Amino acid sequence: MAKNKHKKTESFDFNGGWDYSPSPESTSHVKLKERYELYIDGKFVAPDSGKYFQTTNPATEKVLAEVAHANEADVEKAVSAARKAYETVWSKLSAKERGKYIYRIARLMQERARELAVVETLDAGKTIRESRDVDVPLACNHFFYYAGWADKLEYAFPNRKVSSLGVAGQIIPWNFPLLMAAWKIAPALAAGNTVVLKPAETTPLTAMLLAEIIHESGLPAGVVNILTGYGDTGAAIVNHPDVNKVAFTGSTNVGKIIQKAVAGTGKKLTLELGGKSANIVFEDAPIDQAVEGIVNGIFFNQGHVCCAGSRLFVQESVADEVIRKLKDRLDTLYVGDPLDKNTDIGAINSREQYESIKKYIEIGKKEGAEMYESKCSLPKNGLFIRPTLFTDVAQSSRIAQEEIFGPVLTIQTFRTIDEVIQKANNSPYGLAAGVWTDKGSRIFNLTTKLRAGVVWANTYNKFDPTSPFGGYKESGFGREGGLHGLGAYLKIEN
Ligand code: NAI
Ligand code: MG
């Protein structure tokens, strides 16, 4: 029996005999507007340019709504509203009252949780299971968590003098639209700052729902301003001289542009950028759990995750077994309608991202790596990619070095711990890593040697508002979440 363990013929065909019945989430409780305006100084206002752009559902490529394209004049209005609100209201309010507003936003988000989840799924292509069970609850939790800190800043940083910074300019990406808005807005408000936030162009809708929620919470006008737009809108926020703090999550390329733009201005900066995180499986690991962790690490949210475990390292002695089980598991994953509660992998966020992932799959093949993709059927329309993995990957190959940001895993093997540490750290990025082993001492050894902001042991993609998150090297700097995330929005003096 043991001898035959790695035989290919033992593969299972899970998809052959039966299928799930469709189980689509209802959208009847969601009424999207045809058009969303900018949220400036407590009012929903038309953009200065009169220009709007469309956001689509990537699962169908149909238009969902149009949103305003903010220009420099709108940014000027939003920043001066945020400045006025900071000087006249928000910084004058007692910390306890500030906390109450943040708490109220969290409660209102919970009340509209189902609507937020459905809209997130429609606009971003992510599965309803994810937006319902991960994104929306975590976004609420961020507001709850930071609401608690608002009146306890002196306990958060004992024996230090802490003060707010002023106006925070925040730019967020499309992979976790509502959650990233929460990561940015909640600590900024708790620390006593006011906010100008720009969501990503392909996923602006939950940010506009959040603007409605913030409005309903009675938060004083101008404390939070939300501007939709493209990169030019983001650049105008970053470059505005009256912004005191810039927080950006997105690509490393744009992060570099922003770092240059902010240099010498005195603006405080945090950058949360790309990644190419290593997920490392040792021979003593619980293999079945590790396979689940590998799947979660790379296929969660279609692989549109900055900390995705996109580089798998398997110890040579168990490589055959892990790869065989992984291929079996790949074939059980449901790719399709993101609104269906059975779906494991939804739609790729945008056509641009779809083309980019496809390009990387071609590059992988040309580089000589062996590709395996699941045998699942794909919907006729919309932007879908089968879960894909590459074996025989060279360390120097582009698919092992560059961020693909899609459901594509590269697999390499290793023999010794020193070898895997070297390989894992041989990347321009340093955001996260995963380690699968039964041995506690090995976990501690690796967590100190891996140059990654977060190291998960025998799990992957675990998030909590109390836990700081952020990277090294080209993955950026500064931390979000926890006390560290609060500190990023404060001036801390001795
Ligand atoms: P991006 O970095 O261009 O977009 C992120 C945000 O930055 C968006 O809101 C965008 O409007 C804004 N932006 C663009 N140019 C700007 C500028 N000059 N100044 C200020 N803000 C600006 O990312 P993109 O093009 O959507 O994705 C490209 C690649 O970046 C992806 O394939 C992926 O590899 C990576 N990425 C990584 C993310 C992460 O969470 N680490 C998130 C999104 C993308
Ligand atoms: Mg969209």
**Ligand 1 pocket, residue 200 CB under 6 Å:** yes
Cross-strand partners of 417: none
Ligand 2 geometric centre to CA of 424 (Å): 34
Whether 376 is catalytic is no
Residue 201 alpha carbon, nearest atom of ligand 1: 11
pLDDT recorded at residue 20: 82
3-state secondary structure 16-83: CCCCCCCCECCCCCCCCCCEECEEECCEEECCCCCCEEEEEECCCCEEEEEEECCCHHHHHHHHHHHH
Whether 306 is catalytic is yes
Residue of 306, 403, 474, 480 with catalytic role: 306
Ligand 1 geometric centre to CA of 274 (Å): 9
Ligand 1 geometric centre to CA of 283 (Å): 37
Residue 306 alpha carbon, nearest atom of ligand 1: 41
Residue of 115, 201, 272, 480 with catalytic role: 272
Residue 305 alpha carbon, nearest atom of ligand 1: 40
> CA–CA separation, 38 vs 44, rounded Å?
5
Ligand 2 geometric centre to CA of 131 (Å): 14
Q: Whose CA is nearest to atom 14 of ligand 1?
A: 231
pLDDT recorded at residue 144: 98
Ligand 1 geometric centre to CA of 173 (Å): 6
**Ligand 1 pocket, residue 474 CB under 6 Å:** no
pLDDT recorded at residue 19: 77
Q: Whose CA is nearest to atom 10 of ligand 1?
A: 231
Ligand 2 geometric centre to CA of 302 (Å): 15
Ion ligand 2 residues within 5 Å by Cβ = 55, 123, 202
Cross-strand partners of 469: 480
Q: Whose CA is nearest to atom 43 of ligand 1?
A: 250
Mutate to test the pocket of ligand 1, among 251, 357, 480 (most ligand atoms within 8 A of CB): 251
Ligand 2 geometric centre to CA of 33 (Å): 14
pTM value? 0.96
Q: Whose CA is nearest to atom 42 of ligand 1?
A: 250
Residue 475 alpha carbon, nearest atom of ligand 1: 41
> CA–CA separation, 306 vs 432, rounded Å?
9
| Cβ–Cβ < 8 Å for 328, 316 | no
Mutate to test the pocket of ligand 1, among 179, 237, 254 (most ligand atoms within 8 A of CB): 254
> CA–CA separation, 144 vs 142, rounded Å?
5
Tokens of 246: 């810039």
Tell me the average confidence (pLDDT) per consecutive run of 10 residues in the chain, 494 residues long. 46 63 94 98 98 98 98 98 98 97 98 98 98 98 98 95 98 98 98 98 98 98 98 98 98 97 97 97 98 98 98 98 97 96 98 98 98 94 98 97 98 98 97 98 95 97 96 96 97 94
Residue 237 alpha carbon, nearest atom of ligand 1: 20
Distance, first Cα to last Cα, the chain: 66
**Ligand 1 pocket, residue 234 CB under 6 Å:** yes
**Ligand 1 pocket, residue 232 CB under 6 Å:** no
Ligand 2 geometric centre to CA of 127 (Å): 14
> CA–CA separation, 126 vs 476, rounded Å?
25
**Ligand 1 pocket, residue 403 CB under 6 Å:** yes
**Ligand 1 pocket, residue 235 CB under 6 Å:** yes
